[in-house]
Amino acid sequence: MDVLTLSRVQFALTIMFHYLFPPLSIGLGVLMVLMEGMYLRTGDDRYHAMTKFWTKIFAVNFAMGVATGIVMEFEFGTNWANYARYVGDIFGSVLAAEGIFAFFLESGFLAVLVFGWDHVSKGMHFFATLMVSFGSIFSAVWIIIANSWQQTPAGFHLVTRDGAVCAEIVDIWAVIFNPSSMNRLVHVLLGAFILGAFFVMSISAYYVLRRKHLDFAKKSFTIALIFGAISSLAVGASGHFQAKTVAHTQPAKLAALEGHYKTGPADLTLFGAPDSTAERVDYAIAVPGGLSFLVHEDFKADIPGLEEFPRDQWPNVPLVFQTYHLMIALGASFIGLTLLALFFLWRGTLFEQRWLMAVFVVAVVGPYLANQAGWVSAEAGRQPFIVYPKVTWPADGSPHPHLEMNAGDAFLKTADGLSSRKVVGSDQVFGSIVMFSVIYVLLFAVWVYVLNDKIHHGPEETAATPPPSTTASDLVETAARRVNPSGYSLTEPHRDTPGKTVEESVPPKE
């Protein structure tokens, strides 16, 4: 394969592996806030133990997310130098904001969240949990803003630096609130909430089937079920509004998502196999005029087909179509599954349905697949562009959009974003793919092993009682425990043997 294809495969591998972890951190963080909030409101120590258990899972996942996320910044410079130069002013500002407003907030309170249970007051620990959750969400905010800018650029102008064209910010608020950012942000966060909910339900259902930690499992499952059902219903509405934005800003992507080749009223395809050579969808099961209705509230409204664009501007239609429909099918299953479980919960027989508990144990795979499939369809759908050109529409409202790709217009094709082929060759990229694959397999094995160990250990039956208030020394001690988990102070002498400090206990060197 050529260096372009290999570089895309490499980035897809690293970012898809990384994206196994941030959505769980986001969804689990919100659930921890809800659980600890219940503890503050009721004083019930079972909610305390519940939050503490899920915090351990969160910490493992957070560490994996940080470790796997660092790689991509280096890939921008090594494999995608021209792209990095083009978007550097935009991405530099946005990713700096992520570091300042999100990562520092999240990591700053992480020590209190993980190690501060018996060192800070209930209120202070809840505040730390809240800040860590907010930090994970704020991180997603800035990443989605950066990615959305590639889809719908705004708030910039083009300048030439050292002979290279670069995008330079002129309006930071237009960059933040670009035409697609807010709809995409809501959709991504809801997908993360669903994953967090199904993850908690999976482990809780496992405990129910094994008849272990039953009270913990039933309470955790119930909280996650209600949260997951609300999120599953909301993500459908969110996806509708996002699709309407895509119809206006990226009509070629919408056409690929639905396999819509000919301009005219568009069906809503439920299942099929696109054939771009024949320009049709084989074995299609569709709602006649359904897509036209969703976009324009009119079953007979015309939707631009792929025929409006040159073939070299088409994305990989089968890939985009199938990953999008996989996401939709999984989303529908989440709604059906959670509503069914809510029905049994209302009847008071939910945890007697062992077959349903078994389904929930494995159902956690669904949100992982849905999140991955959604991102594949979104990113592959804007190809062959890495920065999508502006779309203009005729004044008469006819369905014949035009991509602004003249000299001086802002767009960047994926092939043009590569580093010089004289610097990075196919052999080097292929070698790095093999290396990353081996490392990621090992990392994934470690993650599964640690999770399995914590799940089998289960929650603590009794939780330590937090102090009634928090002092500055409590926070310092908690931070010290992050460095020295033994519990000893890093600043105060302590006694290892009767009558002697640790320093006195160490024998002198010969």
Phi-psi region of 148 (alpha: psi -120 to 50; beta: other; left: phi over 0): alpha
Cis amide bond preceding 459, omega within 30: no
Give the pair of three-digit tokens for residue 119: 């060192």
Collect all residues with Cβ–Cβ distance below 8 Å to 447 and sequence separation of at least 6: 60, 61, 64
Is residue 440 scored above 60 in pLDDT? Answer: yes
Q: Beta-carbon neighbour count of residue 56 at 10 Å?
A: 17
Provide the pLDDT confidence category of residue 471 given band limits of 50, 70 and 90.
low
User: How many whole angstroms separate alpha carbon 102 and alpha carbon 112?
Assistant: 16
Q: What is the pLDDT of residue 510?
A: 45
Pure H helices in 164-270: 172-176, 181-210, 214-249, 251-258
Instruction: Note whether 201 and 224 are within 8 A (CB).
Output: yes
Reference 87, options 35, 136, 147; nearest CA is 147
Residue 193 near residue 227 (C-beta atoms within 8 A): yes
Selected residue with higher pLDDT from 397 and 34:
34
Cβ atoms of 86 and 449 closer than 8 Å: no
**Residue 263, helix vs strand vs coil:** coil
Indicate the SS3 state at residue 509: coil
Name the H helices within 284-382: 290-296, 317-347, 354-363, 365-380
Read off the pLDDT of residues 220-259 as tens digits, 9 standing for 90 and up: 999 999 999 999 999 999 999 998 999 999 999 999 999 9
What are the residues facing 5 on neighbouring strands? none
pLDDT exceeds cutoff 50 at 506: no
Q: Which of 331, 415, 409 is nearest to 374 (CA)?
A: 331
Confidence band, pLDDT 50/70/90 cuts, at residue 496 = very low
What distance in Å separates the CA atoms of residue 258 and residue 322, rounded to the nearest whole number? 9
Q: Any residues with CB less than 8 A from the CB of 244 and at least 6 apart, and which?
A: 294, 295
Query: According to the model, what pLDDT value does residue 464 have?
Result: 56
- Asked if the model's pLDDT at residue 71 lies above 90, the reply is no
Instruction: Give the pLDDT confidence of 92-151 residue by residue, as tens digits.
Output: 888 888 888 888 888 788 888 888 777 888 888 889 889 999 999 999 999 999 999 999
Q: Which residues contact 220 (CB under 8 A, 6 or more apart)?
A: 35, 50, 54, 200, 201, 203, 204
Q: What's the CA gap between 198 and 221, in Å, rounded? A: 9
pLDDT at 478 over 80: no
Q: How far is CA 398 from CA 173, 298, 401, 489, in A?
A: 31, 15, 8, 72
Instruction: For residue 402, list its beta bridge partners.
Output: 392
What digits encode the pLDDT tens for the residues 188-225? 999 999 999 999 999 999 999 999 999 999 999 999 99
Helix (H), strand (E) at residue 386: strand 385-387
Closest CA to 74 of 15, 23, 21, 17: 15
pTM of the model: 0.88
Report the distance separating Cα 77 and Cα 510, nearest Å: 52
Tell me: pLDDT of 58 over 50: yes
pLDDT-derived band at 466, boundaries 50, 70, 90: low
Q: Retrieve residue 426's tokens.
A: 């196919």
Distance CA 179, CA 81 (A): 26
Q: What is the DSSP letter of 307?
A: G
Strand bridging mode 391-392 / 385-387: unpaired
What DSSP letter does each residue of 267-295 carry, written as one string?
-EEEEEEEETTTTEEEEEEEETTHHHHHH
Strands 412-413 and 156-161, bridge-based pairing: unpaired
Question: Rounded to an integer, what distance in angstroms lies between the CA atom of residue 178 and that of residue 232?
Answer: 26
Q: What is the mean pLDDT of the chain?
A: 86
3-state SS assignment for residue 76: helix
